[in-house]
Amino acid sequence: MEKCLLSIDWDYFIKTPNQKWSSQLESKKTAVDLWYKLYFQASNRGRNIQQFFELAQEATKFWDKLGTIFQLKEGITAYVSDSHALSFKIAKDKGLNVVYLFDSHADLGYGGLSSLNFEVNCANWLGKLLKEGLVKEANIIYGPYTAEKPEFFKEINQTYNVRYLTLEQLGGRAITVEAVHICRSGAWTPPWYDNQFVDFVKRSGLGYRFINCPPRKWNPNNLSFAEQIDYLLA
């Protein structure tokens, strides 16, 4: 019997022409401090980093589209976190065996099968679920702006049951969802979209619970010169 986890990363909706703006690590420094550092570095070159990002309009219609594909089990609560690694714990604790992931990153592990020997983290949690036999199937729906390609994970794709799908290919199904996880991924998504992120969570129509997802304040214009220097040296 299929027991499905629907896992959604906010970066699914974020467009940037420069994939190097963001970090590959997760911490308070990368979720907050790094964004100020990038902002002031760009400002010193006469550029506004906020102009290099765009939030897809699809974010406002996403839940309506999903309603034609997924049937959310009555009474479920959406878990909201900053790190996507929480999806591993949710799937394991609830005995879920199928994952549908909406993301700009596959989170299968970057570096082939050997990357699944490391502890669970934001970059390999889905691969770890497959390796440990906790899930039998991973379905990845890439965001419209992703720079990744399925062939990047050839070794893992050949070993486990991984499918890369589009929203159109999911159409007409009636997939029952046992749990929902919505991830902010603060190291990859800029803080000036956090209000829209909260709106996105609310539009799900689900009850929700924030877990290790502290609010981020974004107010670069009201920082002292000393604070700006501190961020630049971070």
Question: Backbone phi, then psi, for 87, in 5-degree steps?
Answer: -60, -35
Q: Which of 210, 200, 209, 219 is nearest to 55 (CA)?
A: 200
State the pLDDT confidence band at 23, using cuts at 50, 70 and 90: very low
Of the listed ranges 7-21, 22-36, 157-171, the one predicted with least confidence: 22-36
Helical ranges in 104-166 per DSSP H: 125-131, 154-159
Coil, strand, or helix at residue 126? helix
Question: What are the φ/ψ torsions at residue 51 (nearest 5 degrees)?
Answer: -75, -10
Check residues 90 and 21 and name the one with the higher pLDDT: 90
Q: What is the mean pLDDT of the chain?
A: 89
Q: Give the pLDDT band (50/70/90) at residue 170.
A: confident
Its pTM stands at 0.92
Domain count across the chain? 1
Report the pLDDT averaged over residues 20-48. Answer: 76
Please write down the long-range contacts of 169-173, taking CB distance under 8 Å and 24 or more positions apart. 170/69, 170/100, 170/141, 171/68, 171/69, 173/69
Angstrom distance (rounded) from CA 183 to CA 11: 9
Closest CA to 99 of 204, 7, 165, 1: 7
Q: What is the CA radius of gyration of the chain?
A: 18
Which residues are within 8 A (CB) of 152 and not within 5 positions of it... i.e. 6 or more apart? 106, 110
Two tokens, residue 164 = 């890369």
Return the bridge partners of 183, or none: 9, 81
Is the separation of the CB atoms in 218 and 155 below 8 Å?
no
- The whole domain housing 98 covers 4-232
- pLDDT at 228 > cutoff 70: no
How far apart are the C-alpha atoms of 234 and 228, rounded to whole Å? Answer: 10
Q: For residue range 116-129, what is the model confidence (pLDDT) as tens digits?
A: 999 999 999 999 99
Contacts of 35 (CB under 8 A, 6+ apart): 190, 191, 218
